[in-house]
Chain A
Amino acid sequence: MSMKQIANWALNTVTQRGASYADVRIVDHRQRSLATKNGKVGHAGSAETLGIGIRVLVNDAWGFASTDDLSREAVDKAAAQAVEIAKASSRVKEEPVRLAAEPAVKIEWSSPYKIDPFTTSLDQNLDLLTRIDAELLAVKGVTLAESSMQLGRYEQWFYNTDGSDIHQTRVITGAGFCALAFQGTEIMKRSYPNSFGGQHQNRGYELIDELKLLENARRIGEEAVALHKAERCPEGRMNLVLDSSQLGLQIHESIGHPIELDRVLGYEANFAGTSFLTLEKLRTLRYGSDLVNVVADATEQHGPGLGTFAYDDEGVQAQCTPIITKGLFTGYISSRETAHTIGETRSNGTMRAEGWNRIPLVRMTNISILPGDKPLTFDQLIAGTDDGIFMQTNRSWSIDDKRYNFQFGCEIGWEIKGGKLGRMFKNPSYSGITTEFWNSMDAICSRDQWTLWGTPNCGKGQPMQTMGTGHGASPARFRNVKIGTAYKGN
Chain B
Amino acid sequence: MLTQSHAEQIFKKIKKFSTVDEIEVIFSSTDFSLTRFANNTIHQNVAEVNEAASIRVAFDGKTARATTNRFDDEGLKRAVQSAESIAKVQEPDPDFLPMAEASGGKGTAGPSRSSDQTAAITPGERADGVGKIVAIAKKNKLVTAGIYSSAQTAEAVINSNGLSVYHRQTSAEVSITMLADSSSGWQKANSPDVRNVDPVRLAEIAAQKARDSRSPQELPPGKYTVILEPAAVLDLVGFMFWDFGGLAILDQRSFLNNRIGTKLFGENITIVDDVAHPFQSNAPFDGEGVHRQRVSLVEKGVIRNIVYARSTAAKMRKSEYKDKVGEIRVTGHGFPLPNEMGEAPTNIVFVTPGKEQTVEQMIAGTERGILITRLWYIREVDPYEKILTGMTRDGTFLVEGGKVKHGLLNFRFNQSLIEMLNSVESIGKAVRASGEEAFDMVVPAMKIRGFNFTEVTKF
Stretch touching chain A among B119-127, B262-270, B363-371: B119-127
Q: Once the chains bind, are A49 and B253 in contact (CB under 8 Å)?
A: no
Q: Once the chains bind, are A92 and B127 in contact (CB under 8 Å)?
A: yes
Question: Nearest Cβ in chain B — how far from A412, in angstroms?
Answer: 15
Contact with A along B244-286 (1 / 0, CB 8 A): 0000000111000100000000000000000000000000000
B340 touches which one: A37, A81, A143 (CB < 8 A)?
A: A37
Question: Nearest Cβ in chain B — how far from A37, in angstroms?
Answer: 5
A379 to B52, CA, bound (A): 52
Interface membership of B422, Cβ < 8 A: no
A42 touches which one: B65, B69, B223, B340 (CB < 8 A)?
A: B340
Q: Once the chains bind, are A143 and B252 in contact (CB under 8 Å)?
A: yes
Question: Nearest Cβ in chain A — how far from B183, in angstroms?
Answer: 12
How many chain A residues touch B (CB < 8 A): the figure is 91
In this complex, the member of B340, B384, B459 whose beta carbon has the largest number of chain A beta carbons within 10 angstroms is B340
Q: A64-B44, A94-B40, A271-B436 are in contact. Are A487 and B384 (CB under 8 A)?
A: no
In this complex, the member of B251, B257, B381, B459 whose beta carbon has the largest number of chain A beta carbons within 10 angstroms is B381
Stretch touching chain B among A101-109, A154-162, A179-187, A415-423: A179-187
Q: Once the chains bind, are B123 and A88 in contact (CB under 8 Å)?
A: yes
Question: Nearest Cβ in chain B — how far from A195, in angstroms?
Answer: 12
Contact with B along A259-289 (1 / 0, CB 8 A): 0000001111111010010000000000000
A86 to B123, CA, bound (A): 9
Q: Once the chains bind, are A429 and B145 in contact (CB under 8 Å)?
A: no
Q: Once the chains bind, are A35 and B340 in contact (CB under 8 Å)?
A: yes
Question: Nearest Cβ in chain A — how far from B376, in angstroms?
Answer: 5
Question: Nearest Cβ in chain B — how far from A282, in angstroms?
Answer: 19
Interface membership of B177, Cβ < 8 A: yes
Q: Once the chains bind, are B457 and A398 in contact (CB under 8 Å)?
A: no
Contact with A along B68-80 (1 / 0, CB 8 A): 1110000100110
Q: A404-B457, A463-B34 are in contact. Are A359 and B42 (CB under 8 A)?
A: no
Q: Residues of A contacting B419 with CB < 8 Å?
A: 490
Question: Nearest Cβ in chain A — how far from B34, in angstroms?
Answer: 6
Contact with A along B17-58 (1 / 0, CB 8 A): 000000000000000111111111111111111111000000
Interface membership of B233, Cβ < 8 A: no
A358 to B47, CA, bound (A): 9
Interface membership of B228, Cβ < 8 A: no
A20 to B173, CA, bound (A): 31
Q: Residues of B contacting A427 with CB < 8 Å?
A: 381-382
Q: Once the chains bind, are B123 and A400 in contact (CB under 8 Å)?
A: no
B146 touches which one: A44, A93, A270 (CB < 8 A)?
A: A270
B86 touches which one: A45, A49, A146, A433 (CB < 8 A)?
A: A45
A404 to B376, CA, bound (A): 13
Question: Nearest Cβ in chain B — how far from A62, in angstroms?
Answer: 6
Q: Residues of B contacting A95 with CB < 8 Å?
A: 41
Q: Residues of B contacting A45 with CB < 8 Å?
A: 64-67, 83, 86, 338
Stretch touching chain B among A121-129, A167-175, A237-245, A305-313: A121-129
Q: Once the chains bind, are B69 and A402 in contact (CB under 8 Å)?
A: no
Q: Once the chains bind, are A144 and B458 in contact (CB under 8 Å)?
A: no
Interface membership of A448, Cβ < 8 A: no
Q: Residues of A contacting B184 with CB < 8 Å?
A: 269
Interface membership of B445, Cβ < 8 A: no
Q: Residues of B contacting A121 with CB < 8 Å?
A: 89
Q: Once the chains bind, are A398 and B340 in contact (CB under 8 Å)?
A: no
List residues of A (185-227) whose CB comes within 8 Å of B's CBs. 185-187, 189
In this complex, the member of A123, A429, A485 whose beta carbon has the largest number of chain B beta carbons within 10 angstroms is A485
A90 to B41, CA, bound (A): 9
Q: Once the chains bind, are A180 and B253 in contact (CB under 8 Å)?
A: yes
Closest chain B residue to A405 by CB distance? B457
Q: Once the chains bind, are A490 and B380 in contact (CB under 8 Å)?
A: no
Q: Once the chains bind, are B79 and A462 in contact (CB under 8 Å)?
A: no
Q: A37-B340, A126-B89 are in contact. Are A396 and B52 (CB under 8 A)?
A: no
Q: Once the chains bind, are B414 and A490 in contact (CB under 8 Å)?
A: yes
Interface membership of B389, Cβ < 8 A: yes
Contact with B along A63-97 (1 / 0, CB 8 A): 11111110000100010011011111111111100
Question: Nearest Cβ in chain B — how far from A188, in angstroms?
Answer: 9
Interface membership of A409, Cβ < 8 A: yes
Contact with A along B353-389 (1 / 0, CB 8 A): 0000000000000000000000011111111110101
A62 to B67, CA, bound (A): 31
Q: Residues of B contacting A396 with CB < 8 Å?
A: 379-381, 389
Interface membership of A50, Cβ < 8 A: yes
Interface membership of B236, Cβ < 8 A: no
Q: Residues of B contacting A185 with CB < 8 Å?
A: 384-385
Q: Once the chains bind, are B454 and A485 in contact (CB under 8 Å)?
A: yes
Q: A44-B86, A62-B43 are in contact. Are A84 and B338 (CB under 8 A)?
A: no
Q: Interface majority SS on A: helix, strand, loop or mixed? A: mixed
Q: A45-B65, A62-B44 are in contact. Are A489 and B223 (CB under 8 A)?
A: yes
B414 touches which one: A88, A90, A94, A486 (CB < 8 A)?
A: A486
A78 to B32, CA, bound (A): 13
Question: Nearest Cβ in chain B — how far from A433, in angstroms?
Answer: 7
Interface membership of B287, Cβ < 8 A: no
Q: A47-B67, A88-B123 are in contact. Are A42 and B339 (CB under 8 A)?
A: yes
Q: Residues of A contacting B455 with CB < 8 Å?
A: 405, 407, 431, 485
Interface membership of B452, Cβ < 8 A: yes
Interface membership of B234, Cβ < 8 A: no
A86 to B124, CA, bound (A): 10
Q: Once the chains bind, are A490 and B452 in contact (CB under 8 Å)?
A: yes
Interface membership of B412, Cβ < 8 A: yes
Interface membership of B410, Cβ < 8 A: yes
Q: Once the chains bind, are B38 and A66 in contact (CB under 8 Å)?
A: no
Q: A271-B436, A405-B455 are in contact. Are A266 and B414 (CB under 8 A)?
A: no
Question: Nearest Cβ in chain B — how far from A26, in angstroms?
Answer: 13
Interface membership of B179, Cβ < 8 A: yes
Interface membership of B85, Cβ < 8 A: yes
List residues of B (181-222) whose CB comes within 8 Å of A's CBs. 184, 186
Closest chain A residue to B127 by CB distance? A88
Question: Nearest Cβ in chain A — how far from B447, in angstroms?
Answer: 19
In this complex, the member of A81, A358, A463, A488 whose beta carbon has the largest number of chain B beta carbons within 10 angstroms is A463
Q: Once the chains bind, are B412 and A51 in contact (CB under 8 Å)?
A: no
Interface membership of B344, Cβ < 8 A: no
A46 touches which one: B40, B82, B339, B387 (CB < 8 A)?
A: B82
Q: Once the chains bind, are A431 and B340 in contact (CB under 8 Å)?
A: no
A91 to B338, CA, bound (A): 47
Q: Residues of B contacting A385 with CB < 8 Å?
A: none
A123 to B75, CA, bound (A): 24
Q: Residues of A contacting B384 with CB < 8 Å?
A: 182, 185-187
Q: Once the chains bind, are A61 and B414 in contact (CB under 8 Å)?
A: no
Interface membership of B416, Cβ < 8 A: yes
The 11 sampled A-B contact pairs (Cβ below 8 Å) are: A41-B338, A45-B86, A62-B42, A68-B49, A92-B40, A130-B91, A185-B384, A187-B252, A398-B378, A463-B149, A485-B414
**Leading 3 A-B pairs by shortest Cβ distance:** A42-B340, A88-B123, A405-B457
Given A89-B45, A91-B124, A400-B459; 15 other pairs, CB 8 A cutoff: A44-B63, A46-B86, A182-B252, A185-B385, A266-B38, A271-B175, A273-B376, A396-B381, A405-B412, A407-B455, A462-B36, A463-B32, A486-B382, A487-B382, A489-B414
Q: Interface of A with B (CB < 8 Å)?
A: 32, 34-35, 37, 40-51, 61-69, 74, 78, 81-82, 84-95, 121-123, 126, 130, 143-144, 146, 180, 182, 185-187, 189, 265-271, 273, 276, 357-359, 395-402, 404-405, 407, 409, 427, 429, 431, 433, 462-463, 485-490
Q: Interface of B with A (CB < 8 Å)?
A: 32-52, 63-70, 75, 78-79, 82-83, 85-87, 89-91, 93, 122-124, 126-128, 130-131, 134, 143, 145-147, 149, 175-177, 179, 184, 186, 223, 251-253, 257, 338-340, 376-385, 387, 389-391, 393, 410, 412, 414-416, 419, 436, 452, 454-459
